[in-house]
Amino acid sequence: MSEQTQEFRIERDSLGEVLVPRDALYGAQTQRAVINFPVSGLKPWRAFIWSMAAIKRAAADVHRDLGLLGEQQADAISAAAAEVMNGLWDAHFVVDPFQAGAGTSHNMNINEVIANRASVLLGGSLGEYRVHPNDHVNMSQSTNDTIPTAIRLGCLWRLDELDQALVRLTDALRQKSIEFDGIVKSGRTHLQDAVPVRLGQEFGAYARAVERDRERILRSAEGLRRLGIGGTATGSGLNAPPDYSARMARRLSELTGLSLYPADDLFEAMQSMADAADFSASLRTLAITLIRIANDFRLLSSGPTTGLDEIRLPAVQPGSSIMPGKVNPVMAEMLDMAMFHVIGCDTTVNLAAQAGQLELNVMMPIIAHNLFEAMQVTIGAVNAFTDKCVVGIRANREKAEGWLAKNTILVTAMNPVIGYAAGAALVKEALNRNMTIQDLALEKARQGTLKRTTGEPLTEADVTATFRDLRKFTEGGMVGTGGGG
């Protein structure tokens, strides 16, 4: 016996003989895909493997109940699919996501793994196929309906995990908004000084923004619950029993614990990837929000001696290989990079979703890969950012309030009394003389040169009262809700 025949077994498909690794659960068509598409070295995400296995398990159960599949074969398929769902055979899913269109190689990979494993459970050997990958595991199915169904199931499978990550981040930001609510600081627009805000109001706004994005994600996920399974090729339902679609949605709901129902138009479910694109867009919107928050954290913690230094981020690792003592905002930087990647995934999903033609979108493998990758990266990045950054943020009250005292735009509070033009002149002079606006206004009031719009002079008491009222206005919560409320 040659060394090659010891390492491989011979399998056959419609194109002829194929050498398959001796212990592989997959078969000829998967091996052809491995040979033909050595592109990225990437493998399917667990969410995709789980979803495809759930479909095959549900199909076996439905076919057994309908009397279309023998009980022994159906039970073996169901048992093998359950093992795949539980992660026992992940190493045997080897097809690159950059492959033949629509995902036939993915579909055959799962069909062959389950068929071989079911055959072994029935006392057979690998490649014997007492359970056939096409005739039995793929009964009443097509790549056209299994792959888009798996995309929907996989996203829903991880939805709770993503949701909890966003809830934790929202709660952490809101807790900081409460903790920082007593710190009045300079607001900034155009990166320039603006009217006062509370640090708690800034963090409360961050919390609300993440909360809004979470609502968008949950809303878009509802569209993923309608399944096109049963449409087989093109949505026609060819070779599927009349009530197969409804039975499959019901059985998948039972197996997965997800709320699922049949699509009202199986042809649309084959043609359109709009639901996937909508869900991807909600992840992109979250990414935009998180990038903005991460960049704000980087600005607010900049310095510390030569920057804003209004907040202090937790020091989680040294920031330089050459500059001793340097600490960088590494978790915010990580979140930026992760969310850039998520936006890239969404761009791929968008391009692939619009590339569908006539009765099928053949770009589904890369839609699946990028959606599941975007969810993986988002969940991991958000949890790390929450745990390693947000919960440990400290406010630098002295620096925040110190910047506020130097903020010449506080003159805005005097606009109703002295007018816009006079206020602008005060700002210019305060900057030239390196004075606070309040000190300059008091000086001019003592000199009798600070006038109301009516021409009457302003007193020092008037100036003091105006700035006191401004602080009360800010502390009283009238500038936004603050406190995350």
Tens of pLDDT, residues 106-123: 999 999 999 999 999 999
Q: What is the fold of 3-139?
A: Fumarase C; Chain B, domain 1 (1.10.275)
Spell out the residues 6+ positions from residue 231 whose beta carbon is closer than 8 angstroms to its own: 142, 144, 145, 237, 245, 263, 266, 267, 269, 270
Known catalytic residue: 320?
yes
Whether omega for the bond prior to residue 133 falls within 30 degrees of 0, making it cis, is no
Residue 482 has pLDDT above 50, yes or no: no
406-475 matches 155-395 in CATH topology: no
The whole-number pLDDT of residue 423 equals 83
Q: Which of 78, 186, 320, 321 is catalytic?
A: 320
Query: Does residue 362 contact residue 272 with C-beta atoms inside 8 Å?
Result: no
Q: What is the fold of 406-475?
A: Ribonucleotide Reductase Protein R1; domain 1 (1.10.40)
Residue-wise pLDDT tens digits, 446-472 = 988 888 988 888 888 988 888 787 777
User: How far from 173 is each of 50, 138, 293, 383, CA to CA, in Å?
Assistant: 34, 48, 11, 13
Query: Does residue 55 contact residue 153 with C-beta atoms inside 8 Å?
Result: yes
Please count the other Cβ atoms lying within 10 Å of the Cβ belonging to residue 164: 13
The whole-number pLDDT of residue 2 equals 53
Going by C-alpha positions, the residue among 434, 426, 432, 425 that lies closest to residue 406 is: 434
Q: Which CATH superfamily is domain 155-395 in?
A: Fumarase/aspartase (Central domain) (1.20.200.10)
Residue-wise pLDDT tens digits, 378-389 = 999 999 999 999
Buried-exposed string 12-26: b where 16+ CB fall within 10 A, e elsewhere: ebeeeebebeeebbb
Q: Which phi and psi angles does 5 have, rounded to 5°?
A: -70, -25
Looking at every residue in the chain, the average pLDDT score rounds to: 93
Residue 4 has pLDDT above 70, yes or no: no
Question: Which comes out higher in pLDDT, residue 469 or 45?
Answer: 45
- What are the residues facing 261 on neighbouring strands? 226
Residue 474 has pLDDT above 80, yes or no: no
Break the chain into its structural domains and give their ranges: 3-139, 155-395, 406-475
Angstrom distance (rounded) from CA 131 to CA 134: 9
Going by C-alpha positions, the residue among 125, 98, 101, 107 that lies closest to residue 20 is: 125
Percent of the chain with pLDDT over 70: 97
The whole-number pLDDT of residue 229 equals 98
Joined tokens for residue 131: 């359970």
